[in-house]
Amino acid sequence: MFKIDSHQHFWRFDPVRDAWINEDMRAIQKDFLPEDLKKELDQQSINGCIAVQADQSEADNAFLIELAAMHPFIKGIVGWVDLQADNIEETLQFYSQYKIVKGFRHVLQGEANRALMLEPAFKRGIGHLKQFGFTYDILIFRDQLQYAAELCTLFPEQQFVLDHIAKPDIRNQVINDWAPGIRDLAKNPNVCCKVSGMVTEASWQNWKSEDFTPYLDVVFESFGIERLMFGSDWPVCNVAGGYAAMIDIVKSYLSQFPEDQQALFWGQNASTFYRID
């Protein structure tokens, strides 16, 4: 079975640039590079990964492109561009020369304007992605799900994927402020979802596998296994159990599905979405 980790990060740790990695997350206040991830992938029989931006800069794009050129198991890159820039079309044209660059994302979860994605300039940028074959990763908190649903409805031909199941409050086992938004977003057939980032939304040191079941039930029922893909969110997952723990949660849940459907989740869906040969 061909397996892809559809969501992980690399960085050379910079305490100023990476200020989001606070003292509570000191386990990841260091460099994380391809040779570190390769050990995890090999242990879990995973064939490759999608490297996602960790810094909102084109310098980070260049860093990831360079790493991918040296490490063939990096099958794609999700970078960052200023979608609101006047010259966005020219920028996308530039990145289209790199086959390894599959799409882009913006850290919408951190924006003071919770509906930034619906501003005219942002929508204009989104509107240019399809002509270059780029996907868009939606990184939001649960309070932004309504805006994401509207955005995806406005661009029915654009391929979107939701990161980290929109970060529900697993720690406090709250689901009703999140589930309706997931169901609405999933009504858009052009939207997939990464089953990723869940352990960091739970109680980091005290979660149990069954804590995640109600949330997994919602995303599997809403999107169907044909629009879901595995993502580790490594190395961020290391603050709450690590790579193997994240894998085990998902493996256990997937055991109810036949092998051909599991194959969709573990690799085929990500390969199709990110155009991996």
pLDDT for res 16: 86
pLDDT for res 21: 86
pLDDT for res 270: 98
Spell out the CATH class of 4-273: alpha beta
pLDDT beyond 90 at 38 = yes
179-206: pLDDT as tens digits: 999 999 999 999 999 999 999 999 999 9
Residue range 42-65: mean pLDDT, rounded: 97
Q: Report yes or no: 105 and 83 within 8 Å, Cβ to Cβ.
A: no
Distance, CA of 24 to CA of 223 (rounded, Å): 33
Quote the pTM value: 0.97
Residue range 221-244: mean pLDDT, rounded: 96
Predicted confidence band of residue 23 (pLDDT cuts 50, 70, 90): confident
- Average pLDDT along the chain: 96
153-189: pLDDT as tens digits: 999 999 999 999 999 999 999 999 999 999 999 999 9
Nearest to 99 by CA among 66, 71, 77, 83: 77
Interacting residues of 271 by C-beta distance below 8 A, sequence separation 6+: 2, 4, 75
Query: What's phi and psi for 174, nearest 5 deg?
Result: -95, 130
Query: What's phi and psi for 113, nearest 5 deg?
Result: -80, 100
Distance, CA of 21 to CA of 34 (rounded, Å): 19
Q: Report yes or no: 139 and 106 within 8 Å, Cβ to Cβ.
A: yes
Percent of the chain whose pLDDT exceeds 70: 100
Residue range 36-49: mean pLDDT, rounded: 97
Q: Report yes or no: 165 and 215 within 8 Å, Cβ to Cβ.
A: yes
Nearest to 127 by CA among 144, 151, 94, 105: 151
Got the DSSP string for 54-118?
Answer: SSSSHHHHHHHHHHHHH-TTEEEEEE---TTSTTHHHHHHHHTT-TTEEEEEE-GGG-SSTTGGG
> Residue 237, class by beta-carbon neighbours within 10 Å (0-12 exposed, 13-18 middle, 19+ buried)?
buried
In the structure encoding, which two tokens stand for residue 212, read together? 């995640």
Nearest to 195 by CA among 259, 109, 269, 258: 269
